[in-house]
Every structure is written in structure tokens, then in C-alpha cells.
Amino acid sequence: MRWRALACLLLGLVLLAGCWDQMDISDRATVLMLSVVWKAPGRLDWTFYFPNPTVTVNSQSQIRSTQQLYAVGVAAGTLAGAERAAQRQLDRHLYLGQLQVLLWSSNLPAAAAGELLDAYNRQGIASKVAYVGLAPASALSHLLQASPQEVVPRLKWQHVFSCAACESMRLSEPLWHVWDDAHTPGMSPVAPYINSHGELGQIAVYGRQGPPVLFSRRQTLGWALLTGRATREVLTVSRGAQHYTLTAVHGSAATRVAWSGGQLWVDARMALSGTLAEAPYGTAERPAEIRTIEAATARLLVADCKAAIDQANARRVDPFGYARALLFGHPQWLKHGSSIKWSALPVHAAITVSFNVTTPGVTS
């Protein structure tokens, strides 16, 4: 009996621990980044980026940044087709479980982007916490070159997106957020946009169809303020010929959403603050002076928020999730009012900003 029990136990250990399914790490082609460029309906260019397996702990410091990653490019209509085509070029098993960054071209239409996200999300082992981003099609391959600042398996864009201290606004979105937003009525999916110079500071918003709507830097700031994502923005406020620079601009937004007369009404009140970092030479920081700067800054930020709302209304998107907030409060409306296109509703917003300037400078 004891031997039988021992045999059962050993068998169970082997089977349940998954040891028999294990694949040596050197037999896997671990995809770290994936870029997708949209060419035409059903025609996409896919590039899978892998860490160069010849990079070892000892060689890391000597190896050139251009040699740290190797890329496999294929043309295919679907993600599964691209994986098969890439697999044919590889001598290792293609593995998406460690994907860190998924970038696609900013001309990818909403339907194709939704299909891509759905197909990826269906794969149980594929990493759902990979960061997503959009970039101009022409710049993608250039942007994805390994950075001299990083040594694989660390990647520049993974760091950019995960570095909370680097961002002035919290723009980064993991894949599962975007997928989740795409499947929630009353919300237009948002992803960060990297321009052709490799700068992050704008968002791209997907409407119901067509390519994504780009928000300018100013509109993006308005969006970030309204969604409480501004963390350390830098602003310059002008009063006549005098310029004041505020740093660490951040704060929270208290939003109330209401449905009245077939319209979506939003009351957004923001309590923001910033640090006075630069003022004209010789200016004394008197309370009256500070109050004027505060009022001017508040006016400027209200205008930014309005610019974001106007852009959203003009392009029939809701990157703020206002209609979603409304539906979360009244879930039964979804079933009865299914004819309403919740994420394409115009928003009537009342925006109030109260700004507080802090002056913790060494000099005053």
C-alpha cells in the first residue's frame, strides 16, 4: 500500500507540476515587442522583436545596441497568420507570454484594431499587461530600435511606459485596459501616441469606425486633467510680457454626470496645484501677485479642458468615459436604450478649475 501511495504521489508531482510540459528557455523565441503596420484592408505588416540569444550576462556590456534585438517581419491578415508566418522563419518556439510592448500604426482602423486586440486577448498565455501605443507607420521600425540606454531584455518603451516618475501625464495603458474599454459601452478606447520624433505626449482615441482621432498636446493635457492623470505637467503662464513657469502641475477631478433631456451633462470640478518654478527676474512673490497667477492658470487650464471636450464632441468619441460612468450608475439603461450610441454622445460640460500655486522655492 505504501509503495502504491508513493507511486501515485510521484506521478501526481510530475503531472501536476507541469514538468513534462516544460520547454527550455533556450528553445523559446520570446517576443518582447510586436509592431503592426496597416497597409490595406486585410494586409498588415507584422514585426516580432526577440532578444538576441547570444547576449549573455558577460557580453551584455560589450554588445552594441543594434545587435541586442533581432526582428522577424512578415505580412499577414491576422495575428494567427502572422504568428504562423513568423514561426516558419524561426528555429525556436514563438512565445507571446512575455510580450512587453505592442505598437501599431496610427492608420489602423477601429475594426482592425478591435480584431487585433480580441485575437491577442483570446490567447490565454499571451501577456495581458503588455503596454500598447500608436505611432506613425513610417516611424515604427525606427522607434523600435534598441536604445543605447538599455540592455536586453530591458526595453526602452517598456521603461518609458512603466516609469511613473518619467511621465508628466499618465498616458500609458496596458493592453487589458484598452481591450476592456473597447468592450464597455460609453467609453472610447484610448492609447498613447508616439510621434515620429519618438516623443510621448499625445493620445489617440478610437471611435466607432475609421482611424483613431489624434488629440493635440493641449487637448491631451485637457483630457489628462479631466481624468485626473496629470501628475507633473509643466506650464508657462503669460501676463503681458511676463512669463511664469509652473512645475509639478497635478490634481484631482471630481466629476458628476447626469442625463437630462436626452443629453449628457457633466460637471467637472478640478482642484489643481503647481509649484512656481520661474518668475520674471526681480519679482516679489506677494500674495496678490500669486492670486493673479492662480487665476490666469485656472483660465488657461479651463480652456485646455474645453479644447479636449470640443475635440471629443467634434469627432464623436468619449475618451473620458462619461457615458460609461453614467451607465455604471444605471446599468438597466443599457438593455432598454440600446439604440443610443453611448460612446458617441456629445458632452455638455461645466468645467471649474481652482488652482493653488505653491512657492516652496529656496529664494523668494
| Closest to other proteins by CB, 176 or 265 | 176
Q: How far is the CB of 260 from other proteins (least distance, A)?
A: 19
To other proteins, the closest distance from the beta carbon of 162 in angstroms equals 8
CA atoms of 180 and 128, how far apart (whole Å): 11
User: Minimal distance in Å, beta carbon 332 to other proteins?
Assistant: 5
Of the pair 14, 271, the CB lying nearest other proteins is at 14
Q: How far is the CB of 88 from other proteins (least distance, A)?
A: 18
Q: Which is nearer to other proteins, 191 or 235 (CB)?
A: 191
Q: Interface with other proteins by CB under 8 A: which range of 49-57, 220-228, 287-295, 322-330?
A: 322-330
Which residue in 10, 75, 111, 129 binds other proteins (CB under 8 A)? 129
Instruction: Decide whether 189 or 211 has the Cβ nearer to other proteins.
Output: 189
Radius of gyration over every alpha carbon of the chain, rounded to an integer in angstroms: 25
Contact with other proteins (CB under 8 A) among 10, 15, 75, 254: 15
User: Distance (Å, rounded) from C-alpha 225 to C-alpha 209?
Assistant: 26
C-beta closer to other proteins: residue 267 or 285: 267
The residues near 344 (Cβ < 8 Å, ≥ 6 apart) are 207, 208, 316, 317, 318
Q: Does 111 bind other proteins (CB under 8 A)?
A: no
Residue 254 carries which side chain, given as an amino acid letter?
A
Whether the CB-CB separation of 36 and 103 falls below 8 Å is answered with yes
Extract the C-alpha cell encoding 193. 501616441
* Choice between 124 and 240, CB closer to other proteins: 124
Q: Which residues of 227-265 are buried (b: 16+ CB within 10 A; e: fewer)?
A: bbbbbbbebebeeeeeebebeebbbebebebebeeeebb
Residue span 178-217 as binding mask against other proteins, x where in contact by CB under 8 A, dash where not: -xx--xxx--------------------------------
Number of residues that bind other proteins (CB under 8 A): 32
Please count the residues of the chain. Answer: 364
228 in contact with other proteins (CB under 8 A) = no
CB closer to other proteins out of 12 and 42:
12
Does residue 57 interact with other proteins by CB under 8 A? no
Residues 16 to 45 in contact with other proteins, rule: CB under 8 A: 16, 18, 20-21, 23
Q: What is the footprint of other proteins within residues 141-180 (CB under 8 A)?
A: 174, 176-177, 179-180
CA 321 from chain center: how many Å? 15
Q: 269 is written with which cell numbers?
A: 470640478
Q: Which stretch in 76-84, 216-224, 310-318, 323-331 sits in contact with other proteins by CB under 8 A?
A: 323-331
As measured in angstroms, the least distance from the Cβ of 20 to other proteins is 8
Q: Which is nearer to other proteins, 276 or 326 (CB)?
A: 326
Footprint of other proteins (CB under 8 A) = 1, 5, 8-9, 11-12, 15-16, 18, 20-21, 23, 124-125, 128-129, 174, 176-177, 179-180, 183-185, 324-325, 328-332, 334
